[in-house]
Amino acid sequence: NAGVTQTPKFRVLKTGQSMTLLCAQDMNHEYMYWYRQDPGMGLRLIHYSVGEGTTAKGEVPDGYNVSRLKKQNFLLGLESAAPSQTSVYFCASSYGLAGPLGDGELFFGEGSRLTVL
Amino acid sequence: DAKTTQPPSMDCAEGRAANLPCNHSTISGNEYVYWYRQIHSQGPQYIIHGLKNNETNEMASLIITEDRKSSTLILPHATLRDTAVYYCIVRARGAQKLVFGQGTRLTINP
């Protein structure tokens, strides 16, 4: 059981390039999230999804787009990368309201380190 | 969601109980207290959560004051592997998102 898998784990981009981070979960979770974490800081929510085909903005959505075309996948896109987007990106998922522990228990991936030069 | 206040750092000796405080004086009646931890640069890990009763699981105990304005996470016998940043989060069920603050950096010393 893989849990939450993020790809790629490392990436270096030049300013202005685009890329997509993929998050896949095999737990049949309803909710999925993308966070970013800068050095010495807590996690900040970028976008999230409460079901297939739905997305919503978090605390820091600017410069990112997301899609949830399949329940198990949540994609985070950077259309034109900027140095300010250098960060570690974490994906997470949860059962949602129907889950055994409610929707507050999030399962996190190992992170994707992105550097924008 | 209500705001939480945690000390930025704490130290604890290995084998002793680690008590991590959290203030949430503006908590609402339907908001739960959640605790997560982040070891090194790994993804955060869920520890425990509660509404108003004290809770215990295999990882930790959560003590919530009667007025619910503060809580304490207790790691009963801390080990070096418990060194991590611990996040206290207050959130209503169904709020759809979990917002992390700065957390407490706990260092377990040998």
Cβ distance of B44 and A108 shorter than 8 Å? yes
pLDDT digits (tens, 9 = 90+) for B25-58: 999 888 899 999 999 889 999 999 999 989 999 9
- CA of B105: how far to CAs of A39, A64, A103, B11, B86, in Å? 14, 30, 26, 8, 6
Residues 6+ apart with CB under 8 A from A92: A4, A32, A33, A35, A106, A107, A108, A109, B43, B44
Give the nearest chain A residue to B44 (CA atoms): A108
CA distance A105 to A96: 9
Cβ distance of A105 and B46 shorter than 8 Å: yes
The β-bridge partners of A116 are A13
Distance CA A26, CA A28 (A): 6
* Residue matched to tokens 């418990």: B82
Q: Model confidence over A41-86: pLDDT tens digits? A: 889 999 999 899 999 999 999 999 999 999 999 999 999 999 999 9
| HEC per residue, B66-108 | CCCCEEEEEECCCCHHHCEEEEEEEEECCCCCCCCCCCEEEEE
CB contact under 8 A, B96 and A45: no
Are B43 and A45 a contacting pair at CB < 8 A?
A: no
Farthest-apart Cα atoms in chain A, separation: 43
Residue in chain B nearest A37 by alpha carbon: B41
Quote the pLDDT of residue A99.
58
The residues near B66 (Cβ < 8 Å, ≥ 6 apart) are none
Q: How far apart are CA A83 and CA A81, in angstroms?
A: 7
Q: Which residues of chain B from 15 to 44 reach within 8 Å of chain A, CB to CB?
A: 32, 34, 36, 41-44
pLDDT exceeds cutoff 80 at A111: yes
* Predicted confidence (pLDDT) per residue in B80-98, tens digit: 999 999 999 998 877 777 7
